[in-house]
Amino acid sequence: MDLKQLNAFIAVAELRSFSAATAKTGLSQPSLSRLLKQLETEMGVMLVDRYHRPLHLTEAGTFFYDKISTILTEMDTVISMTQRLSTPSSVLNIGFVPSILYGLLPEIIAMLKQSNPDIEVNLKDISSYQQMDALKSGDIDIGFGRFAHQDPWIQQILLRHERYVVALPKSHPLANVREQRLIDLANNRLILYHQTHLPISTTTTTTPIANKTIANKTIDNKPINNNKPSRLRNQPLSTEPVTEPLLYLFAQYGISPFMTTTVSDLQVALGLVAAGEGITLVPASLKTVRTEQISYQRLIHENVTSPIYLHTLKDFVHPQIPELLSAIYQVYEQRGITYRRQKFVSQL
């Protein structure tokens, strides 16, 4: 059994087509078929049912694919990390979620370059969830995200918590109210935009009952009740766990918004707010966006915050990351932001 055989099997298993697998692997179809047959012969197990179109995996093939694909992914990660250890890149590749860019990231990068004029930085817009794979593949060396992740390859530190503010259309009756409460916002349509959800929650929420698609973007219209906000501790409609971040903030206070709309990203959410289609909650660093159409107001709830995490690999810490952390803390000190100084630890 060798890597060529395993990669041939993985290609066939994922694409369910010999012709598509040959295009992906660059092998001829006879070579691909021979490698797959050799693997099955060595194992003494039929992995692929060749008599159906598209091709099906046998029960044994499905089990083998689930296990071996994980092993091969880890092997690719180990190879990539070994190569980076051997010849570290001078470029620091930084992944970030869009909301971070509206905050202190530009200032942090400027501080980093001021203290390290020769450093080369490459910024990549990438979701918190996708950053995990990007770190393993070497596409990024470090990532700024909004969610904690449990991954044996990744280490993370919490930089700080950022307060949420409510974004309302300028014409909204509450647009000029300086201190907002979640219960007063619950009769509005809440626009949701997170693509990554919280991993675990024990709080309950109501069940959505209607979906529709608008302008090629998936939008879930979720009416909760007919007239007024639901206090979940008094009127629960179901016991589904709350993992959507904004709904979780409301659920902490036993509140469920009257209706929600889910869009593809934060910019679309703010666009709908500007158009008067609802309200949303955003980290305070975004309160300079679309200010001619949107009013941003403070929430009185001190625990309604969005964390900022920094992620990197456990076994390989890019040599420029300590300088990045130093720049982050210098900016925090200049801004009077409370933080607890931390550092990444290399396991090697």
Amino acid at residue number 1: M
Mean pLDDT lowest among 64-73, 95-104, 148-157, 234-243: 234-243
Residues 98-117 as b or e (16 or more Cβ within 10 Å = b): ebbebbbbeebbebbeeebe
Lookup result for tokens 């890597």: 3
Does the structure show a pLDDT above 60 at 153?
Answer: yes
Which range of 43-47, 212-216, 233-237 scores highest in mean pLDDT? It is 43-47
Does the structure show a pLDDT above 90 at 160?
Answer: yes
Distance CA 210, CA 189 (A): 14
| 220 burial type by CB count under 10 A (0-12 exposed, 13-18 middle, 19+ buried) | middle
Q: Looking at per-residue confidence, does 74 or 280 come out higher?
A: 280
Mean pLDDT, range 243-258, rounded to an integer: 93
Distance CA 126, CA 142 (A): 11
Q: How confident is residue 12, by pLDDT bands cut at 50, 70 and 90?
A: confident
Positions of E strands within 151-283: 154-169, 179-180, 189-192, 204-205, 212-214, 217-219, 230-231, 240-241, 255-256, 259-262, 280-283
Q: How confident is residue 136, by pLDDT bands cut at 50, 70 and 90?
A: confident
User: What are the residue ranges spanned by the domains of the chain?
Assistant: 3-83, 91-159+308-335, 162-306
Does the structure show a pLDDT above 60 at 14?
Answer: yes
Question: In this predicted structure, what is the pLDDT of residue 207?
Answer: 39
Q: Could you tell me the CATH superfamily of domain 162-306?
A: Periplasmic binding protein-like II (3.40.190.10)
Q: How confident is residue 173, by pLDDT bands cut at 50, 70 and 90?
A: very high
What CATH number does the domain located at 91-159+308-335 have? 3.40.190.10
Taking only the tens place, the pLDDT of each residue in 221-244 is 544 443 444 443 334 445 578 899
Let me know if the fold of 91-159+308-335 is the same as that of 162-306.
yes
Question: In this predicted structure, what is the pLDDT of residue 215?
Answer: 36
For the chain, give the mean pLDDT.
Answer: 85
Give the single-character DSSP code of 186. Answer: T
Mean pLDDT, range 313-337, rounded to an integer: 93
Q: Looking at per-residue confidence, does 167 or 236 come out higher?
A: 167
Q: How confident is residue 23, by pLDDT bands cut at 50, 70 and 90?
A: confident
Question: In this predicted structure, what is the pLDDT of residue 82?
Answer: 77
Q: Contact 122/94 with Cβ under 8 angstroms?
A: yes
Taking only the tens place, the pLDDT of each residue in 78-90 is 777 777 777 767 8
Q: How confident is residue 331, by pLDDT bands cut at 50, 70 and 90?
A: very high
Question: In this predicted structure, what is the pLDDT of residue 218?
Answer: 39
Does the structure show a pLDDT above 50 at 265?
Answer: yes
DSSP string, 260-313: EEE-SSHHHHHHHHHTTS-BEEEEGGGTTTTTTTEEEEEES-TT-EEEEEEEEE
Residue 328 has a CB neighbour count (10 Å cut-off) of 24
Q: Is the bond into 54 cis (omega within 30 degrees of 0)?
A: yes
Mean pLDDT lowest among 50-64, 128-142, 304-318: 50-64
DSSP three-state, residue 346: coil
Rounded to the nearest 5 percent, the helix, strand and coil shares of the chain are 35, 25, 40
Question: In this predicted structure, what is the pLDDT of residue 297?
Answer: 97
Q: Looking at per-residue confidence, does 216 or 166 come out higher?
A: 166
Q: Give the angle subtended at the CA of 245 by the CAs of 243 and 247, to the nearest 5°.
A: 80
Does the structure show a pLDDT above 90 at 156?
Answer: yes
Mean pLDDT, range 272-287, rounded to an integer: 96
Taking only the tens place, the pLDDT of each residue in 178-204 is 999 999 999 999 999 998 888 764 444
Give the architecture-level CATH label for domain 3-83.
Orthogonal Bundle (1.10)
Mean pLDDT lowest among 30-34, 170-174, 292-296, 342-346: 342-346
Does the structure show a pLDDT above 70 at 276?
Answer: yes
